Amino acid sequence: MADSSQTSRSRQLQVETHGLDVIADAERKGTPSTLFWPWFGANVSILGLSYGAFALGFGISFWQALVAGVIGIVFSFLLCGFIAVAGKRGSAPTMVLSRAAYGVRGNRLPSVISWVLTVGWETVLTSLATMATATVFSRLGWGGGTETKVVALILVGALTVVGGVMGFDLIMRLQTVITVVTGVLTIVYIALVADHIHWSTVSAVPAGSAQEFIGALVFMMTGFGLGWVNAAADYSRYLPRSSSGRGVVGWTTFGASVAPLFLLVFGLLLAGSSSTLNKAVAADPIGALTTILPTWFLVPFAVVAVLGLVGGAVLDIYSSGLALLSAGLRVPRYLAALVDGVLMIAGSVYIVFFADDFLGQFMGFLTTLGVPIAAWSGIMLADLALRRRDYDEGDLFRPHGRYGDVQPTPLLLTLAATAIGWGLVTNTAASWLSWQGYLLDPLGLGGKSGAWAYANLGVLIALALGFLGTLALGRNRVRRQEEQAASPEAVAAV
């Protein structure tokens, strides 16, 4: 028994060799409940508190922000839960399973979009961890300037890259530790700052319009579940085929949602109690939260902040490497993760040392990429709902197999939904996105300065068009695919 345990531990410390290949039945293990750990660990970040300030920034009341947050978080992670079912039905990464809808090489377009999104997220999380560390050191009188930021960026970047390169087993082990440590310290943080909540001030925040409510709702969706849908099956693919589909959906949704919901409520109470804190969060979402802490808890706060953000970044860099391979790069998975790590550090250098407005760029990033990802998500969900059989794993790698090389209908649907969606979103804080919102005036929605300008309807429209369009146009394609005889074993990954 001891020898077996030692062997298991040793195996967890090895670099994962799996890339796009199918996970063999002999290597599939665990139960749906094990999905709780990676999803909880990736979403227990202190950043969840800052979303309270982000939501109130739309000009809505506490209750409106709470409803928008609950619906946006739970619904968007429910989408992740449904897509996670594809993992146990196909044993391959999310962006390989997507080939069943788009074709083997046609799927390279959504793979590139997925790769950009995950690299962007890991860059954002690494930058926030760096800035939070610098803020803590500054308050303690230990520096906090350029040198501190450089060292912090190197350490956070190293933790993230090592986790992404090592792969699944180490990530699962790491996320369990992050969950426990971060969960406990977050509770302590909340207890220490609870006296800064003033309900009379919070309840006096005026209500906003329906358009502002929708804008906050969409922002919550893009900030949480829609930032993970393209990676939702990357961990469930290791579960046995006999695993409960309902269990996969339930544990994914619960594990990912529970911490953000709790943190959002408290974040709303804090931000609603102090306009100063509310504004400070826009510039430094994590560091601003230290301003109400006693000095003795600053170091534990730095630990909880960094670990929580690293937990999300590790999952992102793992999935971004898989997306890069699915986009056509022919290198081992660990090298793809390493490439993404280099890009992540370069992007973090820009955000930490050169960018002036974090929140504006962040919102622009989320809404811009949120539109094509929402379109892909709708197509993937509808394609999965139309299927009555598990994926033919061999044909996921054959351009001339049942799934084809390029499927024009899903690709055109993605492009059309994205074009319409970008015409219905705006972000004036990011100058490089000023071209968006071109449909608001022609459709009578008040133009780029009207009431609907910041509702970000484009994300919801893209999701709906992708889903309904695939249900209407993809039924015959799926039926033809499933009528074909089973193929031989999976070939080398392409």
Q: What is the residue-level pLDDT of the chain in tens, covering all 494 positions?
A: 334 344 444 444 577 777 787 888 888 888 999 999 889 888 888 888 999 999 999 999 999 999 999 999 999 999 999 999 999 999 899 999 999 999 999 999 999 999 999 998 899 889 888 988 888 888 888 887 889 999 999 999 998 988 878 877 777 787 788 878 888 888 899 899 999 999 999 999 999 999 999 999 999 999 999 999 999 998 899 899 889 999 999 999 999 999 999 999 999 999 999 999 988 887 778 888 888 889 899 888 888 888 888 888 888 898 899 899 999 988 888 888 899 999 999 999 988 888 776 667 777 787 889 999 999 999 999 999 999 999 999 999 999 999 999 999 999 999 999 999 999 999 776 677 889 999 999 999 999 989 999 899 999 999 999 999 999 999 999 999 999 988 766 454 55
pLDDT of residue 5: 40
pLDDT of residue 493: 52
Question: What is the model's pTM?
Answer: 0.88
Q: Would you say 123 and 424 are in contact if contact means Cβ atoms under 8 Å apart?
A: no
Q: Would you say 78 and 249 are in contact if contact means Cβ atoms under 8 Å apart?
A: yes
- Measured CA angle at 361 (ends 360, 362), to 5 deg: 90
Q: Count Cβ atoms within 10 A of the Cβ of residue 319 and give its class: 0-12 exposed, 13-18 middle, 19 or more buried.
A: buried
376 vs 466: CA distance, rounded Å: 7
279 vs 254: CA distance, rounded Å: 31
Q: Would you say 117 and 230 are in contact if contact means Cβ atoms under 8 Å apart?
A: yes
Locate 42 and state its tokens.
Answer: 């990736």
225 vs 69: CA distance, rounded Å: 12
pLDDT of residue 6: 42
Hunting for tokens 């000009």 — which residue is that?
Answer: 59
Locate 12 and state its tokens.
Answer: 């967890």
How many secondary structure helices (H) and strands (E) does the chain include?
A: 19, 0
**H or E stretch covering 133:** helix 108-140
pLDDT of residue 164: 79
**Residue 208 DSSP SS3:** coil
Q: Count Cβ atoms within 10 A of the Cβ of residue 37 and give its class: 0-12 exposed, 13-18 middle, 19 or more buried.
A: buried
pLDDT of residue 46: 82
